[in-house]
Amino acid sequence: MTMTPSSFRPAARVAGSELAVTAMIALLLIGLLPLLHATGQISTFTLSLWGKYLCYALLAISVNLLWGYTGLLSLGQALFFALGGYMHGMYLMRMIGDLGQYHKPIPDFLVFLGWTKLPAFWEPFASFPFAFAMVFLVPGLIAYVFGYLAFRSRIRGVYFSILTQALTYAASILFFRNNLLLGGNNGFTDFKFILGHSLVDRGAGPATMRGLYLVTAVTLLLVYVLCRWLNGTKFGLVQQAIRDGENRVLFSGYATTHYKLFVFVLAACIAALGGALFVPQAGIINPEEMKAQNSLEAVVWVAVGGRGTLVGPILGALCINLLKSWASRAYPDLWLIILGGLFILVVLFLPGGLVSLPARLAPLWRKRAADPAAVTKS
Amino acid sequence: MMNRIARRLRLLALLSWLGAAALAFAAEAPRQTIVRAILVEDDAEKRALIGTLAGQGDDAIRTLLIAWRSDALFVYAAPDGAKIPVQLTGEKDDKDAQAALRVDNGQALQDAAGRPLRLVGGDLKAVEHDSNLRRAMKAVLDLIDLVAPDPARRIQAIQTIALAQDLSKLPLLQARQKDETDPRARRALREAIALIELKDPKSETRLAALAELKELHTLSSSDFLKRALKEATDQADRPAIAAATAALQAVDLHRSAVDFFGTLFRGVSTGSILLVGALGLAITFGLMRVINMAHGEMIAVGAYTTYVVQNVFGAGVTLPCFGLNLHLSGMNLEGAAYQWYFVAAVPCSFLAAACAGILLERTVIQFLYRRPLESLLATWGVSLVMQQLLKLMFGSNNVQVGSPVYLSGNWTVNDVLLGWNRVFVIGFGGVIVLGMWLVLTKTPLGLLIRAVMQNRGMAACMGVRTTRVNLLTFGLGSGLAGLAGAFLSQIGNVGPTLGQNYIIDSFMVVVVGGVGSIVGTVLSAFAIGGVDQVLQQYLPAWAPGLSWVPGIGSFLQNLAQDAAVFGKIMVLGAIILFLQWKPSGLFSTRSRSLDE
């Protein structure tokens, strides 16, 4: 798949102002919000809502890494996001201990399914380091195997998109089954503790939530910095060259398969990290999170924010989710039409996304600024 | 020589006399017999008369005997002194009176002036019955279905008798065997006789019955054979064990054959469902290279059009539409005229979806022909909007689309169940593949379509109006999706998310078949459908074989029991592996272009 220059216009290369904007947003998110929460200005609900948005921003970054910078439109990122969430969720389920409804040492849904002891693969998840490793290993491994098979046989462009969507679809119907022993369609919920800190909505709960929010915001900043750094390296250049003309890169002697595979696995890990941070703040993880539609929604965030830019996906994820929170309450019937319509409009009329808006408006602005002058001259 | 002829003549005479006697006997209608039985005083004679009803197939016998048993028959003494047996039926009015039907002719009882009489049960004497008589009646009722005019009911009755394995019923069945003409009923009779004979005290009869069952190898005899085998094992009856085992093997063989052909049929029908869903996509995606994520919604448009047409033929429908209530008045057709709704719905679905497709092409897709990834995203937006519109117009629940009579029902061939609607979809798939092939290869439009799809720029230089061809091609593809919707409405539920169920499968079919190849699409639809059904059929049987996997053996076994889901996942895995081998599908279009 080639990206002809006309189809893709990177956003304005205004490194200095972008850095300033980013720093300001980061300061707001990392400094101001927790401060407001600590002083009781905003509720824990609002804070963890923002925490969830930041997790979605991580998902958006992973989509952008693939689509914006490598030209691979993956519709399976929600799968990796949810897998990360499930791995962390398994740890959180173990931490409930015997405080569940049935007061048994195994999770409630297993009791409900007639299990008396823990299935073997649940055992090691009592250890946080193990679960933390699994958050990266499981999605990473799946991404590696799938990516290896897909890239080796040169599945590109829309074919890659369709296959990743099918993968997500297959996984979601699998996770809906009770026999998978991962909670069926109810998934995991009702968490009590994380690393010994209470997650319930009383006592030390809000403080834990603030901590989780801070961790998420800092993680997002670190991932952003990582992407920024990667973007400037030779690797980043090859990555973008693959996007703009894979065959030329291939004929120049680069093993594009390896580059793509690395980016795919890296993106899966970033998405999984987002999912892992999402679970304790949302308080639930179920197969709804890995529906194919969620992957596509993440692509909308990136498209609206501005793909192929570093800050665009974060901006897009925040804006669309804020819009969603508002619209799905104010106009529940029309929300999908708004989302769909917005998407059509952005694809057709604003391929560069929100980030490109200032650059596109600037000439108009200048013209208008110039016009009165012209009038007075004459 | 003479002697023999004379003997034959005598025999003939005897037979014809017997026949005449039988005719004379049959001439008396069952109703008359029952009247006589009611009026006769002697219990034994009553029983004898009731007994003569056995083996007659008149529906009146059943109603009257059941009425007799439940004390609904009475004797009415007419003013002229005649005793008329009557049946009181219907609702009681305020005087406790009910309508009275004469037992002898089933007509309403009339008074002298010819008005129907209403009688009060309490004033009359109910016709009595003792336990012996009731037993005689039950014997008649049990056998009444054996001579019913409808073969299906006869078979049902035969099977009921066989299930009881009552040796006393044997002579009756054997007698029936002479008169029965329907081949399926004859088979059922043979099976029933053999099953009852399994209870015979004589071991030779039992062995013969086992041999007969082996020959018949019906699925329903399996349980009886297992029981017979157990009994034979308990009694250490060697020949019986051997015979029962052989019969069981025959049944099992037959069962696996039935399973196999049933799976084959389901595979072909699943394949044609996939094919019908994917054909439109084979045009829009395969030929035009437009990723239309709203293809599923085009299918839904077709299905909902069928729903609307059905209601217009019926009682009418009201569609809420942005605050306005759009009312379509119905034609209130009934019977055969209503059944034609589906025939009318098919072209309507095509047109509705084609119009939606043309609208989509004009407003969105025409700007994105050179940007396939972005057409994927934009059409996904369209699909969201359309889903929500369908929800707003038709509600978020499924709507009822009834099958016309000629599409419902089953067809059983040698124990393999073939649903009519499935057979129909297979036929329909064949017809539209043929139609599409004819359009693409034999018409001027087809020529233009192929030219534009091969090289848009060159075709434009030759004077082809490519925008119009694009428009028509996209309309054709969407229309085919609408047709698919009309037919899928006969198979599954019709709801706003109908399209989502088919979209991923449809894309898989086109990708595996080779983008741009109709033949490939057909083959891959049947291959995917076949593999899917084979896995669904045999996975539960294979599941125990998974126990060897270390650690997660029992987990995998559990999972494989969910054959439908696990099968789908395995199909997807198989597709990914298949693409390793043939990255551009079964039939790839050859091209020298690098970035194809």
List all residues 6 or more positions away from B563 whose beta carbon is below 8 Å from its beta carbon: B535, B536, B537, B539, B540
Query: How many whole angstroms separate alpha carbon B212 and alpha carbon B227?
Result: 16
pLDDT digits (tens, 9 = 90+) for B490-522: 888 899 888 888 888 899 899 898 877 888 999
Q: How confident is the model at residue B266 (pLDDT cuts 50, 70, 90)?
A: confident
Q: What is the CA angle B434-B436-B439, rounded to 5? A: 110
Return the residue of A nearest to B376 by Cα. Answer: A158
- Overall pTM surpassing 0.80 (yes/no): no
CB A325 within 8 A of CB A49: yes
pLDDT digits (tens, 9 = 90+) for A175-185: 988 888 888 88
CA distance B384 to chain A (A): 5
List all residues 6 or more positions away from B395 whose beta carbon is below 8 Å from its beta carbon: none
Q: State whether B551 and A155 contact (CB < 8 Å).
A: no
- What one-character-per-residue DSSP string does A337-360 give? HHHHHHHHHHHHH-TT-GGGHHHH
Query: How many whole angstroms separate alpha carbon B87 and alpha carbon B73?
Result: 5
| pLDDT exceeds 60 at position B488 | yes
Nearest to B435 by CA among B518, B523, B506, B491: B518
Residue carrying structure tokens 């025939």 = B343
- What one-character-per-residue DSSP string does A2-19 give? ---GGG--PPP--HHHHH
Query: How many whole angstroms separate alpha carbon A121 and alpha carbon B566?
Result: 20
CB A123 within 8 A of CB A308: no
Query: How many whole angstroms separate alpha carbon B384 and alpha carbon A341?
Result: 9
| pLDDT exceeds 50 at position A273 | yes
From the candidates B292, B321, B370, B373, which should be mutated to test the interface with A, based on the most A CB atoms within 10 A? B373
Q: What is the CA angle B536-B540-B544, rounded to 5? A: 145
How far the first Cα of chain B sits from its last, in Å, is 94
| pLDDT exceeds 70 at position B9 | no
Q: What average pLDDT does this structure show over B432-460?
A: 89
For chain B, give every domain's residue range: 74-126, 149-236, 260-500
CB B297 within 8 A of CB B499: yes
Return the residue of A nearest to B577 by Cα. Answer: A149
Q: State whether A351 and B374 contact (CB < 8 Å).
A: yes
CA distance B474 to chain A (A): 18
For chain A, the 3-state helix, strand and coil shares in percent, each to the nearest 5, are 75, 0, 20
Q: What average pLDDT does this structure show over A340-354?
A: 87
Q: State whether B378 and A344 contact (CB < 8 Å).
A: yes
| CA count, 13 A, side-chain hemisphere, B85 | 24
Q: How confident is the model at residue A86 (pLDDT cuts 50, 70, 90)?
A: very high
- pLDDT value at residue A147: 94
pLDDT digits (tens, 9 = 90+) for B236-259: 888 888 888 888 899 899 988 988
- pLDDT value at residue B20: 46
Tell which wins on pLDDT, B457 or B551. Answer: B457
CB A276 within 8 A of CB A54: no
CB A290 within 8 A of CB A275: no
Q: How many helices (H) and strands (E) does chain B have?
A: 23, 9
Amino acid at B367: F
> What's the mean per-residue pLDDT of chain B?
82
Question: Which 328-347 residues of chain A touch chain B by CB within 8 A?
Answer: 333-334, 336-337, 339-344, 347
| A2 Cβ under 8 Å from any chain B Cβ | yes
CA distance A11 to chain B (A): 17
Query: How many whole angstroms separate alpha carbon A182 and alpha carbon A286?
Result: 9
Cα torsion B583, B584, B588, B592 to 10°: value is -90
The least confident of A373-377, B266-270, B389-393 is A373-377
CB B433 within 8 A of CB B518: yes
Question: Which 106-165 residues of chain A touch chain B by CB within 8 A?
Answer: 119-121, 146, 149-150, 152-155, 157-159, 161-163, 165
CB B304 within 8 A of CB B494: yes
CB A34 within 8 A of CB A47: yes
CA distance B502 to chain A (A): 12
Residues in chain A closer than 8 A to B585 (CB atoms) = none
Of B371, B389, B392, which has the smallest distance from its Cβ to A7's Cβ? Answer: B371
Q: State whether A300 and B565 contact (CB < 8 Å).
A: no
Nearest to B402 by CA among B338, B490, B318: B490
| A105 Cβ under 8 Å from any chain B Cβ | no
Q: State whether B551 and A163 contact (CB < 8 Å).
A: no
Which SS3 state, helix, strand or coil, does residue B222 take?
A: helix
- pLDDT value at residue B6: 58
List all residues 6 or more positions away from B548 whose beta carbon is below 8 Å from its beta carbon: none
Nearest to A294 by CA among A181, A179, A171, A183: A171
CA distance B267 to chain A (A): 20
List all residues 6 or more positions away from B116 whose beta carbon is below 8 Å from its beta carbon: B99, B100, B108, B109, B110
| pLDDT exceeds 50 at position B170 | yes
Of B368, B382, B580, which has the smallest distance from its Cβ to A153's Cβ? Answer: B580
| A182 Cβ under 8 Å from any chain B Cβ | no
Question: Which 280-299 residues of chain A touch chain B by CB within 8 A?
Answer: 292, 296, 299
Residue carrying structure tokens 């059929």 = B537
Residues in chain B closer than 8 A to A348 (CB atoms) = 364, 367-368, 378
List all residues 6 or more positions away from B49 whose beta carbon is below 8 Å from its beta carbon: B33, B34, B36, B37, B40
Q: What average pLDDT does this structure show over B551-577?
A: 79
Of A154, A336, A341, which has the smallest distance from its Cβ to B387's Cβ? Answer: A336
Q: How confident is the model at residue A62 (pLDDT cuts 50, 70, 90)?
A: very high
| pLDDT exceeds 50 at position A7 | no
Q: What is the CA radius of gyration of chain B?
A: 34
pLDDT digits (tens, 9 = 90+) for B457-481: 889 999 999 899 999 999 999 999 9
Q: Which two tokens stand for residue A71?
A: 């030209």
CB A158 within 8 A of CB B372: yes
CA distance A174 to chain B (A): 6
Of A150, A170, A351, which has the smallest distance from its Cβ to B568's Cβ? Answer: A170
| A4 Cβ under 8 Å from any chain B Cβ | yes
| A255 Cβ under 8 Å from any chain B Cβ | no
Q: State whether A337 and B389 contact (CB < 8 Å).
A: yes
CA distance A344 to chain B (A): 5
Query: How many whole angstroms separate alpha carbon A152 and alpha carbon A71?
Result: 16
Return the residue of B nearest to A159 by Cα. Answer: B511
Q: What is the CA angle B274-B275-B281, rounded to 5? A: 100
- Report the DSSP beta bridge partners of residue B100: B88
Q: What average pLDDT does this structure show over A345-369?
A: 84
Query: How many whole angstroms separate alpha carbon B479 and alpha carbon A22?
Result: 49
